[in-house]
Amino acid sequence: MGDPSTKTPAPRLVRVYLLLSLLCMLSLGFLWRWQRVSQALTNHTTCSGLERSGRRNLTVLLWYWPFDKPFSLTGDVCWDKYRIPGCRLVSQRSLFPTADVVVFHNRELLQRHGDLPFDLPRPAGQRWAWMSLEAPSSNLKRYSNVFNMTISYRRDADITIPYGELQAGEAGGHLTGGVPSNKSFLACWVISNYKRHHRRSKVYKELKALIPVQVYGRWTRTPLSSEALLPTISRCYFYLAFENTISRDYITEKLWRNSYQGGALPVVLGPPVEDYSAVAPPRSFVHVDQFASTKALAEYLQQLAADQQRYGRYFSWRRDWNVKLLTDWRERLCRICAQFARLAQHRVYTDLHGWVRDLNSRPDPNT
């Protein structure tokens, strides 16, 4: 007869084994459910209004590097730099079949028309976007019924990417309240691309005959480095923010950077007063078209410079606002994702040339 103690451990070990197995299964089930919940929460946060696309990320394919100058798209650029979620920027053309938006920059579009993917099957729902920050100067008639989106400085573009914009004032911003001091010159102008037939050249010549104007830039062989630009302009009462093209909403860094960040009161020549008033702070600029003649403009500038109280009123907005410059193409592209959900799903620009030239043409109203 054997020792009974040698037979009892077997059932006990089985029970322990079964208990441990059950605990492991429960733990694995709990972890699986937690991962599913976490993933759902992540997807909900990442989509952030992009539910209409039915995807976690919106893929934006840049077909051409703007001006053939590549930049890094590594990582989650839109989130890391601009806190715009659910946005994937890519440049690999092999991703064309899965791209939600394909962006074509105007300069390269015109130079390399044969490079367009007309021979590739276009996925259903994929949108082609025309993008430009330049004033209209090209014939785009061949691109009728090609593009679904416009990305431009124009306020009526599908995605508006201005040269600059206002932000509520914050500590450490570019601007400080009050009138900048150390004024040495009445008026200044930085000009590199001088052409006699431009309207701005005509106004400058008339103004120069009436008041002193300090001129810098390649035209006068007195270029300013990027470090010297704003400090130089800050010494001027007025800055001639004259655009080289008179076109709807075409308001460039001449206003936002040179004038506002430079601390000079801008004298603007470009689109109508209404276009400036729509984006600029109230009473923050002087428009050439507000005067019956260049002589009347010159007299007004002299009167303002001589009256610090009146001159200072043009800078009161600086206490509450800062100027943000948009200089990074990645930020411009990320804005596609930020505004994508509100865009019409089936839009075609039947006359892109007419829209760009502002010939009273709009996207097909039936879409």
Question: What DSSP string runs through 163-187?
Answer: SEEEEE--TT-S--SS------EEE
Task: Please list the active-site residues.
Answer: 134
Q: What is the pLDDT of residue 7?
A: 45
Reply yes or no on whether the pLDDT at 366 is more than 70: no
Is 314 within 8 Å of 284 (Cβ atoms)?
Answer: yes
Q: What is the pLDDT of residue 38?
A: 41
Q: For strand 164-168 and strand 321-325, is the pairing parallel, antiparallel, or unpaired?
A: antiparallel
89: Cα separation from own chain's centroid: 15
139 contact partners, CB below 8 Å, separation of at least 6: 353
Cα–Cα distance measured from residue 257 to residue 263, given in angstroms and rounded to the nearest whole number: 9
Reply yes or no on whether the pLDDT at 152 is more than 70: yes
Q: Which of 101, 103, 134, 130 is nearest to 252 (CA)?
A: 134
pLDDT band at 56 (very low <50, low <70, confident <90, very high): low
Summarize pLDDT for 243-293 with one digit per residue, the tens: 999 999 999 999 999 999 999 999 999 999 999 999 999 999 999 999 999
Strands (E) in 84-227, as ranges, are: 87-90, 101-105, 127-132, 149-152, 159-160, 164-168, 185-190, 213-216
Terminal Cα-to-Cα distance of the chain (whole angstroms) = 95
Summarize pLDDT for 335-350 with one digit per residue, the tens: 999 999 999 888 999 9
Homologous superfamily, domain 166-325: Glycosyl transferase family 10, C-terminal domain (3.40.50.11660)
pTM (global) more than 0.75 = yes
Judged by DSSP in three states, 159 sits in strand
